Chains A and B, each alone.
Chain A
Amino acid sequence: MTPMRAADTELRSARPRMANVAKKVSWSGRARDEPETEPEPEPGEATPLLNGAGPGRRSRQFTHSSFLRIGQLSNVDLDDDAHELETEVPHQFPNEIPHNEKLLSLKYESLDYDNSENQLFLEEERRINHAAFQTVEIKRWVICGMIGILTGLVACFIDIVVEKLAGLKYKVVKDNIDKFTEKGGLSFSLLLWATLNSSVVMVGSIIVAFIEPVAAGSGIPQIKCYLNGVKIPHVVRLKTLMVKVCGVILSVVGGLAVGKEGPMIHSGAVIAAGISQGRSTSLKRDFKIFEYFRRDTEKRDFVSAGAAAGVSAAFGAPVGGVLFSLEEGASFWNQFLTWRIFFASMISTFTLNSVLSVYHGNAWDLSNPGLINFGRFDNEKMEYTIQEIPIFIVMGVVGGILGAMFNALNYWLTMFRIRYIHRPCLQVVEAMLVAAVTAAVGFVMIYCSRDCQPLQGNAVAYPLQLFCADGEYNSMATAFFNTPEKSVVSLFHDPPGTYNPMTLGMFTLMYFFLACWTYGLTVSAGVFIPSLLIGAAWGRLFGISLSYLTGSIWADPGKYALMGAAAQLGGIVRMTLSLTVIMMEATSNVTYGFPIMLVLMTAKIVGDFFVEGLYDMHIQLQSVPFLHWEAPVTSHSLTAREVMSTPVTCLRRKEKVGTIVDILSDASSNHNGFPVVENETDTMQVAGLRGLILRSQLIVLLKHKVFVERANLSLVQRRLKLKDFRDAYPRFPPIQSIHVSQDERECMMDLTEFMNPSPYTVPQEASLPRVFKLFRALGLRHLVVVDNRNEVVGMVTRKDLARYRLGKEGLEELSLAQT
């Protein structure tokens, strides 16, 4: 054992930490069933505002004359805290509660979008001349080009493999069904279909659940959070990309009600993050290129380019992709970035287009701009007239209501999943069951359907005859017995009369529940296509009934299918600008822009009236400290003083190594940024703020043993460069992996050179919206609150701001929890 370890254990025994206490209490307090029925707080504080979280916290009064806490004093403070906790927690504080949406997880941290302008950085900037900056600019363009190409190629890969595997599966099942239709024993076909589906999905779910859980779902919420400045662990790793791509292929082939478009956005983002760093930590390969971009700020820009490239490859919508990135990450934006992102998007869709054209055998055709191709909407029948616009708006309302229903159901289901189905094995079993049920439902629907349509050449990919007359096929089978993308396109383009209203109605109903059930499973899959499919089905139904009602055929059902699809998708995801443009580009018809915009707008307004969008809902359910555009209204009376965390663990400019190690390894306060204050001679003197240093920087310093004594001893030691910090990025070693001997603990460290000497600060009186604006616009991670003597009073971080939310009854406060 090293002395440091010994010291550490000593530390532990000396200072019982909050987490430990909490755990201890939690075990003893497990007999209580309903945390909500906890003793009422004192009358004066009876506010349901801090639901279930508050009274214990608020009754704690800090009586320190100064909130400044120097490392050495922390002993006393912590003991205080712990003591207080032990006395009051057991009978007042419901410290274990079931998961709910009003929590913020401690798991998530911020990204360091703010550049640390320390002396090393300034020196490096000075060394780089004008020409070198131009090289950096060129490198940016090169990276964007590569992002586009690789994203396009990944999309091609997914498309081709899905097509091959799904083709194989449907062929096997179709042959089987054809065989058993004559002889009897269709139940075996059903079993075969269900088993095939669930075994494929099982593999897809296993890799997600056991290898990389963050690859689950569409990935759009995760990327949204990343662009918002939240560090989601593992979200942009190569391993995630691998799992995502394989997972998507398997879940689409497994016949789930999912699409492969959403995950493309995540894939694009991972590709971007990987390329821009010029290395892969998963593969342990460093190509020694693009080292300049190894920090969060640069990476974020490339990630937004990657997300745009992903959208563009998925829908063949380069402009939509750019706007998607703009909509999700718009607080950090400039024109040059837009132009570069547009470049990446264009390259991405072009790569996909040309590779797929070569694959399909018509190399110069360029007719596959996206993974999903809505087909052309430019014949005369597809044109709309002014009179139809009110009808479209009505469809928007329907889409909004249905979307809200979808989200509400999914919310309920997701909550159940988080609470009860959290073990990976259970998640895999659930996914398998959903796959089997999807197959069973499809089969039963096809079996019961008597809607037969004459075969026309090879218009249908896998025509199932079943009980139809020879030369006819089952119309329900085109919807269920097919990959969802193909079903969407056939709903848009099949001539009027291909589907009978009964078929469409049943299909919509079934698929609605299946898709809702499927989203949130531990498989990687998107919700775009299922939403489009549901919408297209009821939209077509709408169009058909219109023709029945008016007795004429002016209403081409394909047009209504498109509007229904837009309405449903808008009602579920609530994207506005980017979705309009994506739909417009996917249909390659600009005149549809107006009705699509109206439909999406209506759907959003109607949907927002009931519940929020699916992605926002999932972000909230994951307890991510997500910062919206604005601080909640009616929060002006809150000041920085109430918002901030205090007391703050500060470091002195020349600090003892032992103190730093102790602070860093203190698990109860996993702080990331430490204000650096003046070396005070005696505690009474003003210790003004001098700078801010990050945990990652301290760890690198400790690793390289940059101690004052060693420098004085004139040991042959290379001066630390910015490169050393960049090499460690983004996975800095944990403090436990750094060994500091007992002697070294007595050394001193000079932080002056490494700290950021100009951190952003606010006075205590600043209002919450003001703090919020500063924080959000600059993408800060730490905002120091100082008093008028420049003394550190508190620290505002993301979770302090994100916990205020405008709920149904007014301003709500979320509580922090370990997840």
Chain B
Amino acid sequence: MGPLGALLCLLLGLAAGGGPPRGAGTWALLEDASLALLGAALPGDLEPECQELLAGFATSCAALSGCLVRSARPVRLCQSCYGLFRAVTEQLDNITRAVGNSSKSYNCAKSLLMSDRLQIVVVLSEFFNKTWEEANCANCLKNSSEGLSNATIEFLDLFNKTLMCFEHNLQGQAISLVASNYTEVCRNCNVTYKKLNTLYTEMQRESEHGESEHSKHLCIDVEDAMNITRRLWSRTFNCSVPCSDTVPVIAVSSFILFLPVVFYLSSFLHSKQKKRILFLPKRFQSNASLVNIQEKYS
């Protein structure tokens, strides 16, 4: 083990407790460290409790990442993983917070969370937190995040109903590559779709009154569900064909555009042009000055 490793061990030793007094030169420190290495029980080793905590965190992390990835498409992050996310948060809390023997657990937190450059535990937990925040899952969970909020449940119900309706009406004419006629779907599912749409807009409006920037979005599950439905509805089924009344629009706008022409023409023809009355200044004019000006002019 090179001097670097020794230094590392020394640092671990320092973390374990006490350590040699400061103020000695680097070399002296290194000597101390090599002396410590000679001892039987390595003070740098993790205590069993800590190891347990770490293992627990690892398991829940693995579970959460699995869940996140599995429910990536269509997005079901919040609905399926909120329990696992809570577990990870709890594990992390256990590591950070003092449990049982306070001094030991404190050491545990220190060695797990801040004793190296990488700090993998922190990185992972930050990643999960960030993902959770960006997905805005808090928005569709209850306040204590022990379950989905009522609005979300209602929305998802309605969403499922809508999808069922789509499926039901599509039976027989299976979504094929041929751009077939979906009028039946449009007619039959209109009510459900509209309901879903209004519910979504309402939820959006409610969340607008939220405090922070993030809560302006709805949670990703709801947004994605709505996106899927809308895309199906207006792109695939082509249901929302707005009445395009081009003729009246063109008529009205050309009428409006025509008005200024009339206005300017009439004011040009009928309005009396404003004339300026010249005023004669009192000046002394000699021929010399005229010559001057003319010279300059030419």
Cβ-defined partner of A470 (8 Å) among B230, B248, B263, B284: B230
With both chains docked as a complex, state the minimum distance between the C-beta of B135 and any C-beta of chain A, in angstroms. 13
Cβ-defined partner of A57 (8 Å) among B226, B259, B280, B294: B280
The reply on A721 being an interface residue by CB < 8 A is: no
Taking a contact as CB atoms under 8 Å apart, the answer to whether A103 and B276 are in contact is: yes
Taking a contact as CB atoms under 8 Å apart, the answer to whether A194 and B256 are in contact is: yes
Taking a contact as CB atoms under 8 Å apart, the answer to whether B286 and A440 are in contact is: no
Taking a contact as CB atoms under 8 Å apart, the answer to whether B276 and A96 are in contact is: yes
Taking a contact as CB atoms under 8 Å apart, the answer to whether B245 and A466 are in contact is: no
Cβ-defined partner of A634 (8 Å) among B250, B280, B286, B296: B296
Q: How large is the interface on A (under 10, 10 to 19, 20 to 34, 35 or more residues)?
A: 35 or more
Residue of B nearest to A433 (CB): B260
Cβ-defined partner of A646 (8 Å) among B217, B278, B283: B283
Taking a contact as CB atoms under 8 Å apart, the answer to whether A642 and B277 are in contact is: no
Beta-carbon contacts of A582-621 to B below 8 Å, as 1s and 0s? 0000000000000000000000000000000000000000
Taking a contact as CB atoms under 8 Å apart, the answer to whether B249 and A811 are in contact is: no
Cβ-defined partner of B234 (8 Å) among A45, A186, A416, A470: A470
User: What chain A residues lie within 8 Å of B251 (beta carbons)?
Assistant: 187
Cβ-defined partner of B249 (8 Å) among A23, A186, A433, A441: A186
Beta-carbon contacts of B212-256 to A below 8 Å, as 1s and 0s? 000011000000001100110111000010111110111111001
Taking a contact as CB atoms under 8 Å apart, the answer to whether A816 and B279 are in contact is: yes
* Complex Cα gap A815–B283 (Å): 12
User: What chain B residues lie within 8 Å of A638 (beta carbons)?
Assistant: 289, 292-293
Contact stretch, chosen from B17-25, B169-177, B265-273: B265-273
Given contacts A99-B276, A423-B271, A641-B286, contact A444 B242 (CB under 8 A): no
> Which A residues from 98 to 150 make CB contacts under 8 A with B?
98-99, 103, 106
With both chains docked as a complex, state the minimum distance between the C-beta of A804 and any C-beta of chain B, in angstroms. 10
With both chains docked as a complex, state the minimum distance between the C-beta of A546 and any C-beta of chain B, in angstroms. 32
* Complex Cα gap A646–B226 (Å): 85
* Complex Cα gap A794–B289 (Å): 16
User: What chain B residues lie within 8 Å of A436 (beta carbons)?
Assistant: 256, 259
Taking a contact as CB atoms under 8 Å apart, the answer to whether B257 and A437 are in contact is: yes
Cβ-defined partner of B278 (8 Å) among A95, A190, A426, A429: A95
Cβ-defined partner of B284 (8 Å) among A181, A433, A466, A646: A646
Residue of A nearest to B267 (CB): A420
How many chain B residues have a CB neighbour from A under 8 Å?
55
User: What chain A residues lie within 8 Å of B294 (beta carbons)?
Assistant: 47, 49
User: What chain B residues lie within 8 Å of A67 (beta carbons)?
Assistant: 284
With both chains docked as a complex, state the minimum distance between the C-beta of A199 and any C-beta of chain B, in angstroms. 14
Given contacts A429-B263, A444-B249, A470-B197, contact A811 B297 (CB under 8 A): yes
Cβ-defined partner of B277 (8 Å) among A26, A447, A634, A637: A26
Beta-carbon contacts of A430-472 to B below 8 Å, as 1s and 0s? 1001101101110110010000000001100000001101110
* Complex Cα gap A469–B238 (Å): 9
Report how many A-B pairs have Cβ atoms within 8 Å. Answer: 198
The reply on A22 being an interface residue by CB < 8 A is: yes
User: What chain B residues lie within 8 Å of A773 (beta carbons)?
Assistant: none
Residue of A nearest to B242 (CB): A181
Given contacts A420-B273, A646-B282, contact A469 B235 (CB under 8 A): yes
Taking a contact as CB atoms under 8 Å apart, the answer to whether A457 and B274 are in contact is: no
Taking a contact as CB atoms under 8 Å apart, the answer to whether B296 and A637 are in contact is: yes
Residue of B nearest to A56 (CB): B280
Contact stretch, chosen from A58-66, A312-320, A567-575, A712-720: A58-66
With both chains docked as a complex, state the minimum distance between the C-beta of B162 and any C-beta of chain A, in angstroms. 13
With both chains docked as a complex, state the minimum distance between the C-beta of B131 and any C-beta of chain A, in angstroms. 17
User: What chain A residues lie within 8 Å of B282 (beta carbons)?
Assistant: 81, 645-647
Cβ-defined partner of A641 (8 Å) among B208, B256, B284, B290: B284
Given contacts A436-B259, A471-B227, A644-B284, contact A182 B242 (CB under 8 A): yes
Taking a contact as CB atoms under 8 Å apart, the answer to whether A49 and B297 are in contact is: yes
Residue of A nearest to B204 (CB): A458
Residue of B nearest to A809 (CB): B297
The reply on B48 being an interface residue by CB < 8 A is: no
With both chains docked as a complex, state the minimum distance between the C-beta of B239 and any C-beta of chain A, in angstroms. 9
User: What chain B residues lie within 8 Å of A469 (beta carbons)?
Assistant: 230-231, 234-235, 240
With both chains docked as a complex, state the minimum distance between the C-beta of A47 and any C-beta of chain B, in angstroms. 6
The reply on A421 being an interface residue by CB < 8 A is: yes
The reply on B26 being an interface residue by CB < 8 A is: no
Taking a contact as CB atoms under 8 Å apart, the answer to whether A466 and B297 are in contact is: no
Taking a contact as CB atoms under 8 Å apart, the answer to whether A419 and B279 are in contact is: no
The reply on B187 being an interface residue by CB < 8 A is: no
User: What chain B residues lie within 8 Å of A423 (beta carbons)?
Assistant: 271
* Complex Cα gap A427–B234 (Å): 47
The reply on B74 being an interface residue by CB < 8 A is: no
The reply on A538 being an interface residue by CB < 8 A is: no
Beta-carbon contacts of A168-202 to B below 8 Å, as 1s and 0s? 00000000000001111111001100100000000
Residue of A nearest to B279 (CB): A816
* Complex Cα gap A800–B284 (Å): 12
With both chains docked as a complex, state the minimum distance between the C-beta of A762 and any C-beta of chain B, in angstroms. 14
The reply on B281 being an interface residue by CB < 8 A is: yes
* Complex Cα gap A706–B292 (Å): 48
Cβ-defined partner of A45 (8 Å) among B233, B276, B290: B290
User: What chain A residues lie within 8 Å of B290 (beta carbons)?
Assistant: 45, 47, 58
Given contacts A49-B294, A98-B274, A420-B273, contact A57 B281 (CB under 8 A): yes
User: What chain B residues lie within 8 Å of A57 (beta carbons)?
Assistant: 280-281, 283, 285
The reply on B275 being an interface residue by CB < 8 A is: yes
The reply on A686 being an interface residue by CB < 8 A is: no
Residue of B nearest to A21 (CB): B280
With both chains docked as a complex, state the minimum distance between the C-beta of B182 and any C-beta of chain A, in angstroms. 14
User: What chain B residues lie within 8 Å of A56 (beta carbons)?
Assistant: 280
Taking a contact as CB atoms under 8 Å apart, the answer to whether B284 and A642 are in contact is: yes
4 interchain residue pairs of minimum CB distance = A184-B243, A187-B248, A469-B234, A470-B230
Q: List 17 A-B contacts (CB under 8 A).
A: A47-B290, A98-B275, A182-B242, A190-B256, A191-B252, A444-B253, A447-B249, A458-B216, A634-B296, A635-B296, A638-B292, A641-B284, A642-B292, A646-B284, A647-B282, A810-B297, A811-B293
Given contacts A421-B271, A815-B278, could you give 4 more A-B pairs where the C-beta distance is less than 8 Å? A96-B278, A436-B256, A811-B293, A816-B281
Interface residues of B (CB under 8 A from A): 197, 204, 208, 216-217, 226-227, 230-231, 233-235, 240, 242-246, 248-253, 256-257, 259-260, 263-264, 267-268, 271, 273-286, 289-290, 292-297
